[in-house]
Amino acid sequence: MNKKTSGLSRLLKETITTYPVRSLVVVILILISAFANVYGSMFMRTLIDDYIQPLLRSDAVDYTPLLQALCKIAAIYLIGILCTYLYNRQCVTISLGTLKHTRDLLFTHMESLPIGYFDTHAHGDIMSIYTNDTDTLRQLLSMSIPQSISSLVTIVAVAISMIIMNVPMACVTFAMGALMIVTARLITKKSSVYFRNQQKDLGIVNGYIEEMMEGTKVIKVFNHESQSIEDFNELNEQLFQASANANKYANILMPILGNLGYVSLVINALIGSVLAIHNMAGLTLGTIAAFVQLNRSFNAPIGQISQQLNSIIMAGAGASRIYELLDEQPEVDQGQVTLVNMKQVDGQWQPCHENTGHWFWRHPRKDGVEYVELKGDVRFHDVTFGYTENKTVLHDISLFAKPGQKIAFVGATGAGKTTITNLINRFYDIQKGSITYDGIDVKLIKKADLRHSLGIVLQDVNLFTGTIMDNIRYGNLEATDQQCIQAAKLANAHDFIKHLEHGYQTVITGNGENLSQGQRQLLSIARAAVANPPVLILDEATSSIDTRTEKIVQDGMDKLMHGRTVFVIAHRLSTIRNSNAIMVLDNGRIIERGDHEELLKQKGTYYQLYTGAFELD
């Protein structure tokens, strides 16, 4: 089974599992609607032979039986129309409910994926899965599948009816039907490739648009508008070609099938007339009229199914992309060590549910449970790591940070500074060596608990749509308003916040574009402060702000760093002079270590960086 079929099969299975009763009701209503349509076509023979022709030969005209017959067939058609309306209503509910369920699954699973997935996939392409690809499922479930089922039922019912009426004419209809199916298959085989390419190219275009929107300032600064437009036109042209080719074959399908259907109708009418004139096969005028009607009822569903095949192909491509994301492996987390609050009872530490501010690692062991106080002692032991197997980024890194110490990393871009902090968070797992946290291997600690004990302030601040209070509370969802305000004061953010029109209730949009870079950074520090972590990671936190603002931000960070184990990455060496230890990295190796004074005395790489002989890239 190929991926496209597998995706559709999984989708239909999940839909039926989620809506078993509604799905059954839809099938029943489709059957009733289809049989009502077929019965109406067959009733044409009875209407002509038993009601209309006797009236033409009778001297005393009585329309009562004819009216009763017409009322009967009208009632049957009305039932068919009602069933069609009801199953369409049900299909809308099923399709929209399935879309909601699918988006819920996508987002829930996406949140469990490792950082590496987002490093290797365009964000706009992922967004296209949520929008374009899921929308193809809506059309599939609300229209294509119900209409295809109805058409198949109609074809089977009409085929049986035609065989009962007249076998030779039925064989002619089947032969023409087979020709229509072969034609449709050839055309849809051509279009299917282009429809799949269309979905893929649509994701690429969306990814490019998002990338250009995020880099608007850079584009304008470097006057890159013309090149951006040229690149977009190239991608858009590729999408246009795929869409044009797909729809070219799709649009010629119905006219071809429609004309073949008319040919079938003419041939049947001709054969029926010849048989009736020569009084062969007992054909009557009513039989011929009914058969012509059945012929139309047989050919029309073939065209409808063929037309829906394009939607099914698109949905297959969309379902494939959806399940590719859902089948991505989530972060592996086999940790058993968790973070718990403790309080003293009769001089003994006991685990509790309330937030006491005293955190311990709960470490299950064979002979019971060991509680280890969370202090912030982080150590690397001969760590080797590479993002891919072919390229090693860190080589035999060994370092330690005792509780309350400030450790700084300096070095050129690509030296491995940020990689070290990513490994502390376990955004990636190492290939060799070990990392311990308060003497516990980080691989044994549940990732959520590990990251709960860490605070991060990055150079690129991410603020979310919501109030300033909400963004600060993001660091600790249980924090009170007063705790958030205290965190803002600690970070030196309170002064600028209170001067905003709505203070802490000021709504931030567009990643805080209405705030300065320094103000956004202060909010990031406040967010880390409200989390109150024992270990703090500062990654180029002041490199993109002016000197005056840097002093305010640095003061806020100094307050935040007090009493915590801190890892600092900085280009401005003046910000790390008071570090307990400074690690100088080059090509993934620690080439120098010591405090500021010791490294200056060595007159090595750090000395040259500090005195300006070298510059950091």
Instruction: Give me the domains of the chain, ranges plus CATH numbers.
Output: 3-326 (1.20.1560.10), 338-373 (no CATH), 378-611 (3.40.50.300)
370 forms bridges with which residues in the sheet?
Answer: 363
Is the model's pLDDT at 52 over the cut of 80? no
365 forms bridges with which residues in the sheet?
Answer: 368
Q: How far separated are the first and last CA of the chain, in Å rounded?
A: 52
Rounded to whole angstroms, how far apart are CA atoms 377 and 269? Answer: 91
DSSP H or E run through 43: helix 20-46
pLDDT digits (tens, 9 = 90+) for 460-515: 788 888 899 999 998 888 889 999 998 888 888 898 899 888 899 998 887 777 78
Strands in 581-586's sheet, in edge-to-edge order, are 454-458, 535-539, 565-569, 406-411, 581-586, 589-594
Is pTM beyond 0.85? Reply is no
Strands in 394-401's sheet, in edge-to-edge order, are 394-401, 378-385, 432-437, 440-441
Is the model's pLDDT at 132 over the cut of 70? yes
Strands 507-508 and 454-458: unpaired
pLDDT digits (tens, 9 = 90+) for 578-612: 888 999 998 899 999 998 888 889 888 888 887 86
pLDDT class of 546 with cuts at 50, 70, 90: low
* Average pLDDT value over all residues in the chain: 83
Strands 440-441 and 589-594: unpaired
Res 186: pLDDT? 79
pLDDT class of 86 with cuts at 50, 70, 90: very high
pLDDT class of 2 with cuts at 50, 70, 90: very low
Please list, in sequence order, all residues whose beta carbon lies within 8 angstroms of the beta carbon of residue 129, skipping any fewer than 6 positions away: 106, 203, 321, 322, 325
**Percent of the chain scored above 70 by pLDDT?**
93
Is the model's pLDDT at 281 over the cut of 70? no
Is the model's pLDDT at 50 over the cut of 60? yes
Res 617: pLDDT? 46
CA angle 542, 544, 548 (to 5 degrees): 65
pLDDT digits (tens, 9 = 90+) for 507-525: 888 777 778 888 888 888 8
pLDDT class of 221 with cuts at 50, 70, 90: low
